[in-house]
Amino acid sequence: MNLKKVREQIDIIDSKILKLLNDRMILGILSKRFKTEIEDIEREKEILDRINSYTESLVNTEVYKRIFLEILTESKRLQKKNFKITAFQGEHGAYSDVAARKWLHESVTIPCVEFREVFEGVEKGYYDYGIVPVENTLGGVIGEVNDLLIKTKLKVVGAVNLKVEHCLLAIPGADHRELREVISHPQALTQCKSFIERNKLNPVSYYDTAGAARMIREKNLKQSTAIASKLAAELYDLEIIKENIADLGNNYTRFLILAREETKGKGDKCSIIFSTEHKAGTLFKVLEIFAKAGINLTRIESIPESPGSYAFFLDFIGSLEDETVKKCLDDIKPLTTKLKIMGNYPEITV
């Protein structure tokens, strides 16, 4: 142990404090959804009483009190700003988080462990929006999300095509010659396979790209790297050793923004989900109606609904206010056993 190593440990703790403080502010904003008043005298008293009872510390209790009073004051200030809350699957710094911040700059993003939690949270009103990936140019469709889209009553209110830019991240000041392994989500490791092999790094799978970045920072793994986003590097105070390390450059993920209420006439992209009878030519007849109407289809995906039965996810260019689109949807309705309008929305590419 020497001064340099002591300071490195202090830096790690400081980074954790900053991250935890930000996480606490986010949860404070979320707590507003479950109470009627921002001012909560009883809750504040409960927190301060807990601090008074905490005796196993070198820090004077009065110092703790001053710190927490500042935290409570800042939390109440942020709660008054009425931020929109967007939920995503993964950890802060994940590509879903990046896409959410690109779509709505003033939104507070909340991480969820599973996609199901994103859907349920929006449905119950805990979150204003949910953002979920539906397809990737290299990895294909995200089946779990499509399954949830079939069942949900939520509406699509926006879409983001995000260019996925994988970066190699490491602890600041780490000796690049001593780097031995790279940790990330299996899909990211696959997409950067040539780079990994060329640099003789041992790939280690992890549940999330941003989670891998957070882990190497918190454990101070100086011989490890992570593949994640630039945002993850910023959030977890990591050095970007190299940007854009994917084998192929044309790597985009398409995300859908979900909400309880639809947006009418505010975009030129529409999504529908429909099912047809299991008869030869039925799907062709549906698609033929779109073709004859001159409506450009941008995506069609079959989704298993039950054994031997499929639903179809269809995206097309147009507005639900347009008479041609209205007539087209009226014409296909008799050919379907189920027709659900998911939304009419704007789409951006970033």
The domain segmentation of the chain, as residue ranges, is: 3-79, 85-163+253-349, 167-242
Options 3.40.190.10, 3.60.21.10, 3.20.20.70, 3.30.1490.190; which CATH number does 85-163+253-349 get? 3.40.190.10
DSSP state of 201: P
| Full-model pTM | 0.88
Centre a 10 Å sphere on the Cβ of residue 171 and count the other Cβ atoms it contains.
Answer: 24
What is residue 135's predicted lDDT score, i.e. its pLDDT?
A: 92
Closest listed residue to residue 107, CA positions, set 125, 128, 83: 83
Distance CA 113, CA 74 (A): 27
Give the containing element (helix H, strand E) for 343: strand 336-345
Q: What is the pLDDT of residue 47?
A: 86
Task: Identify the pLDDT of residue 267.
Answer: 87
**CATH match of 167-242 with 3.40.190.10:** yes
**Can you list the residues of the chain whose pLDDT is less than 50?**
none
- Going by CATH, does the domain composed of 3-79 fall within 1.20.59.10? yes
What pLDDT does 52 receive?
Answer: 80
CB 306: neighbour CB atoms within 10 A? 8
Active site residue 255: yes
Question: Per the residue annotation, which of 109, 253, 276, 336 is the catalytic one?
Answer: 253
pLDDT of res. 241: 96
- The pLDDT of residue 330 is 96
Q: Examine domains 3-79 and 85-163+253-349 and report if their fold is the same.
A: no
Query: Which pLDDT does position 265 carry in this prediction?
Result: 62
119: annotated active-site residue: no
Catalytic hit among 119, 255, 274, 313: 255
